A and B are shown apart, each in its own frame.
Chain A
Amino acid sequence: MRFRNPIVVMLLAALMLCGATAFAKSNEAFKLKPGAEGKLCLTCHTAFSGKLQAKHIHTPLAKGECTGCHNPHASTHAKLMEGPAETICYKCHDQVIPADAASSHQVVAAGKCVACHDPHASANPANLIKGGGDLCFDCHQALGKKIAANKFSHAPVKQGCLKCHNPHASAKHANLLTAEEPKLCLECHKTTSEGFKKRHLNYPVERGRCTSCHDPHGSNAGALLADNVHQPLKSGMCNQCHEEPTAAQPFALKKQGFELCKGCHYDMLNTAFGKKRLHWPLVDKAGCINCHSPHASTQASLLRKPMLEVCGSCHADTLARQARAQTKHQPINDGECTTCHSPHASDNLFLQTKAATSEVCAQCHDWQTHSTHPIGPEVIDPRNRNLSLDCLSCHRTHGTEYKHFLYYPDVQTLCVQCHTKYRR
């Protein structure tokens, strides 16, 4: 092989020089004898000889360069790592998350590379701990179970998650997708056939977002529609909400916001509008679809996402409080915000399901068994004559930094807020 282009020759020379410099640096730092940057380690760490038989070996180990990641003498990090476990991989693999990535895998962003990769060697490509979807389903358990139980499966899912998703990050697309919808779907699905058009009632769905109706991970409904399908879609009556497929803007809605939904859900909206307090998103431009999918959903009541995610998309501060709290409130943990709140409207503050807070709490807590402290409308709060004592006088339901949702670090500090004569 002859290199005629002098630029190529210079580039190769520069690369070799860089490599040699890096290697020399490691040697210089520890003044190592030849071979001591790795091979010497194996004289004690004999278990690693087995690792070296694996099909896929991490490049530094294959080269016998343990000092690429470990300090042979001492370290402030576990396992004599040369740097923090969360960042050491980025010394070499600094391109796994592109700058301004549209989406990134949580574990990658957190630097938990070893959640998926064996840093030394593995039988799987890219040193993955497990092959195929099994690795992904270790964390995405609910999705794994659903895929296994689905009546109808989507062929690419069987080929592995990486068929559609990037494992680390996606520079331009949400959900780690390798391409945007519908382009990704149209790589396999041809939209020009009469059958396709007929099934979609001649609406130009190739311009839409396939996942607003279909579940790409498989489903129990026909045609891979998400498990819960909105009745008009089930009945093939898209024109109940949208313009006709021949219209200039076939996906345009016939009415805006809740006005559109009112046609069928009149009773529900009428009840909500009769209450004293309305959940404001219900009457903004998006209206019902702030929380509900208009077509199909994997969630009950056609919620766009699991309830906690839906509510948390606006009330992130409340969920963050629960996340920080020492004691977790079970309904929030279970993602059941509606245990205490009416999501559409209520006559009560905070859209509570019941007027008295103690009644809301009493749905789960028999408070008289855990405390005989008097509470109720006739018991005046010594701190504020306009308040009576109830559960919220001592507890903050979405959590505090202290145990049992208490406002104060311990019971004594709490009690002396009112029982002031016992203050020290």
Chain B
Amino acid sequence: MRQLLTGIVSLVALGCLLPAAVGAAQLKHLQTLYADGEGVALKLPEGVACDEKTLVVADTGNSRVVIFSLGEQTLVAKAVLPLEGIVPLIVRMNSRGDIYLLNGKDRTVAMLGADGKTAGALKPKGLPDAQNFVPRSFAFDAQDNLYLLDIFAERVLVLDAAGQYLRQIAFPKSYGTMADLAINSQGTVYLLDSVAGAIYAAGPGAEAFTLLGKGLKEYTNFPTSLAIDGQGTIYLSDQHGSGLALIGKDGSFLGRKLAMGWEEGQLYYPAQLCINSQGKLIVADRSNNRVQVFSILNE
């Protein structure tokens, strides 16, 4: 009887603590990247993309991509890909390791082959209203479908892995300025509105976005990038707030992490984030001219 009671009490206590544990996710600073393998310093890096083995850095100020091997404890510069006529603002990788870049110069999505050579700009096939198309960001889902944030036609376009148009989801009726999107492992699309300080969500197959939670204006300054961890927690890179904001699946505010500064573990106008399946969170610490690697500790 006593064992049964103890078990019930423990379960209740665990139930109470679980939401707190999500909110209390800690970040442990692992490493800071200042340069490529040759010692050439990073300059205003805006983009980072990562999986279990690779970290790709869009070294925007140097107009190049730097690729690192991502080990358990180490990061080793593997390759440098100079870019001609591309200002890389956002970088993503699909499951095959192909690198895609948002080119700030001509507002196209540039594709890099595995050899690092530019394979030209993405040309979506079968796009409705194709002349009205300006991508602001993009992301891949687990099936390598490509989601494009089209700010000109106010929609999210879904293309298959071959670039063929599949469907579109209109932006919500009222919004500020859409800056980024992310897709979680279940296929839910999240849209980030920098100006309204809001996240909108559309479940798998949904035809419309709905506001997640009650808005985050009072907790964020000007968030510009978002990434989702394995627990479903949303991480926002709050560029003007020089920190991260953590948001629960339901849109609830879980807290802020990191703060403005120049020392390691601090951020100065950060840009893109990425999180891999091993729980590594990587931040393009843009105005600090570096990339920082953290480990998410969900204790």
| Chain A interface (Cβ < 8 Å from any Cβ of B) | 256-257, 259, 273, 276-278, 280-281, 283-285, 314-318, 349, 381, 383-387, 393, 407, 417
Contact = CB atoms under 8 A, between A and B. Distances in A.
B144 interface: no
Nearest to A317: B221
Interface stretch (B67-75, B203-211, B282-290): B282-290
Contacts of B43: 386
B134 interface: yes
A278 to B, nearest CB: 7
Given A386-B290, A387-B289, A284 B104 contact: no
A273 B132 CA distance: 16
B176 interface: yes
B44 to A, nearest CB: 6
A381 B151 contact: no
Contacts of A256: 132, 152
Given A315-B222, A317-B221, A384-B263, A278 B107 contact: yes
Nearest to A282: B134
10 contacts: A276-B87, A280-B177, A281-B177, A283-B134, A314-B194, A316-B195, A317-B240, A318-B240, A383-B261, A384-B262
Task: Tell me whether chain B's interface is mostly helix, strand or loop, or mixed.
Answer: loop
A386 B289 contact: yes
A355 to B, nearest CB: 11
Given A316-B195, A387-B262, A387-B289, 13 more contacts: A277-B87, A278-B104, A280-B179, A283-B134, A285-B151, A285-B152, A285-B154, A315-B222, A383-B263, A386-B34, A386-B43, A386-B290, A393-B262
B96 interface: no
B42 interface: yes
Interface size class of B (residues with CB under 8 A): 35 or more
Task: Tell me whether chain A's interface is mostly helix, strand or loop, or mixed.
Answer: mixed
Contact of B176 (A257, A314, A318): A314
A385 B41 CA distance: 9
A284 B177 contact: yes
B288 A387 contact: yes
B40 to A, nearest CB: 11
Interface string B198-226: 00000000000000000000000110000
Contacts of A280: 136, 151, 177, 179
Contacts of B121: none
A121 to B, nearest CB: 43
B107 A283 contact: yes
A387 B264 CA distance: 13
A385 B221 CA distance: 27
A384 B44 contact: no
Interface string B83-123: 00001000000000000000011110000000000000000
Interface string B120-150: 0000000000001010100000000000000
B288 A284 contact: no
Given A257-B152, A280-B177, A283-B152, A317 B87 contact: no
Interface in B259-299: 260-263, 287-290
A317 B288 contact: no
B177 A314 contact: yes
A333 B153 CA distance: 36
A417 B260 CA distance: 13
A316 B260 CA distance: 19
A269 B33 CA distance: 37
A349 B152 contact: no
A317 B263 CA distance: 24
A4 to B, nearest CB: 54
A179 to B, nearest CB: 23
A318 B153 CA distance: 28
A386 B59 CA distance: 13
A90 B42 CA distance: 59
Interface in B25-52: 34-35, 41-44
Contacts of A383: 261-263
B136 to A, nearest CB: 6
A284 B136 CA distance: 9
Nearest to A388: B289
A318 B263 CA distance: 24
Contacts of A277: 87, 104
B157 to A, nearest CB: 14
B224 to A, nearest CB: 10
B27 to A, nearest CB: 19
Contacts of A257: 132, 152
Smallest CB-CB A-B distances: 7 pairs: A386-B289, A383-B262, A317-B221, A284-B151, A384-B262, A276-B87, A283-B134
Contacts of B151: 280, 283-285
Nearest to A392: B287
Nearest to A384: B262
Contacts of B241: 317
Contacts of A417: 262
A130 B240 CA distance: 44
B152 A276 contact: no
Nearest to A274: B105
A231 B164 CA distance: 43
A257 B43 CA distance: 33
A284 B132 CA distance: 10
B290 A384 contact: yes
Nearest to A381: B262
A277 B260 CA distance: 24
B236 to A, nearest CB: 13
A385 B34 contact: yes
Contacts of B287: 349
Given A257-B152, A280-B177, A283-B134, A386 B107 contact: no
Contacts of A393: 262
A29 to B, nearest CB: 40
A276 B87 CA distance: 6
A349 B44 CA distance: 9
B267 to A, nearest CB: 11
A317 B221 CA distance: 6
A402 to B, nearest CB: 13
Nearest to B131: A259
A182 B3 CA distance: 75
Nearest to A417: B262
A261 to B, nearest CB: 14
Most buried by B among A277, A317, A318, A387: A317
B105 A276 contact: yes
